[in-house]
Amino acid sequence: MSLGSKIAWDDTVLPFQLDRSDIRGRVVRLDGVLDKVLSQHDYPPAVEKLVAEAAILTALIGPAIKLRWKLSLQVRGDGPARLVATDYYAPEEDGAPGRIRAYASYDAEALKPESDPFPQIGSGYFAVLIDQGKGTEPYSGLTPIAGSSLADCAQTYFAQSEQLPTRFALSFRKEPDGWRAGGVMLQKMPAMPPRPKEDGGEAG
């Protein structure tokens, strides 16, 4: 029996680190969660795809924050798809599930529902916001919209704002019985300085 057949993959985020390597990452699958998020809205297909992509990114990035914090992604542009926003709510305690919500704002008259979604965002920015709770100043990092997908925008953010080489591979589609979505995030962690060699001399 394969390992995959032993794990309930639906709506799961799994972290991993490659042996003898400075590469770590997460793999996610969102089916039921994405169905629930999108069923609460009546978005056109182009907007649905943007929200789906943003939700997968949020599920991959969000678990990096601490318990009871909130991480938000915001994509704002001057095109017909003017806002895509997602929130990841970290669990209250270890072992509990996190929560995701997502929403979008768009110009229904200017939007081309069946066209490539990403160019319809236009020029703008990709932002990551972290709310650490009452009495703290939220963290925010912004980078220009770049590339040809929201995943490209996220990679640009990590490279420019966090100086952390990061790659995303996402897949998502809407089928007759619901959404199928998953993704992988890889990050190259900073190299640890070499440990000093111990003095090999004999004790006196």
Whose CA is closest to 102, among 166, 138, 59? Answer: 59
Q: State the pLDDT at residue 3.
A: 38
* Alpha-carbon span 195 to 130, nearest angstrom: 34
Q: Comparing 193 with 40, which gets the higher pLDDT? A: 40
What mean pLDDT is predicted for residues 55-66? 93
What's the pLDDT score for residue 95?
Answer: 79
pLDDT of residue 31: 85
CA 159 to chain centre: 15
Q: What is the pLDDT of residues 25-37, one digit of tens each?
A: 999 999 889 999 9
pLDDT at 4: 38
CA distances to 48, 58, 123, 200 from 141, rounded to whole Å, are 25, 15, 17, 48
Kindly report, residue by residue over 92-150, the tens digit of the pLDDT: 888 788 899 999 999 999 999 888 999 999 999 999 999 998 888 889 999 999 999 99
Give the per-residue pLDDT at 149: 98
CATH topology of domain 10-188: Hsp33 domain (3.55.30)
Is pLDDT at 194 greater than 80 in this prediction?
no
The average pLDDT across 13-30 equals 91
Residue listed under structure tokens 């309930």 = 8
Cα 9 to Cα 23: distance, rounded to the nearest angstrom: 22
- Cross-strand partners of 29: 12, 182
Strands 83-89 and 12-17: unpaired
pLDDT value at 15 more than 70: yes
How does residue 200 score in pLDDT terms, banded at 50, 70 and 90? very low
pLDDT at 40 over 80: yes
3-state secondary structure of 188: strand
Return d(Cα 196, Cα 49) in angstroms, integer.
Answer: 51
Residue 53 reports pLDDT greater than 50: yes
Cα 12-172-153 angle, rounded to 5 deg: 95
| Nearest-5° Cα angle at 60, 160 to 188 | 50
pLDDT at 2 (0 to 100): 35
Nearest in space to 114 (alpha carbons), one of 45, 191, 192, 27: 45
Q: Which of 62-66, 136-140, 180-184 has the highest mean pLDDT?
A: 180-184
**Spatial separation of the C-alpha atoms in residues 43 and 189, rounded to whole Å:** 38
Would you say the C-alpha torsion 151, 98, 5, 17 has a positive or negative sign?
positive
CB 31 within 8 Å of CB 181 = yes
Q: Where are the domains of the chain?
A: 10-188
Residue 83 has pLDDT above 50, yes or no: yes
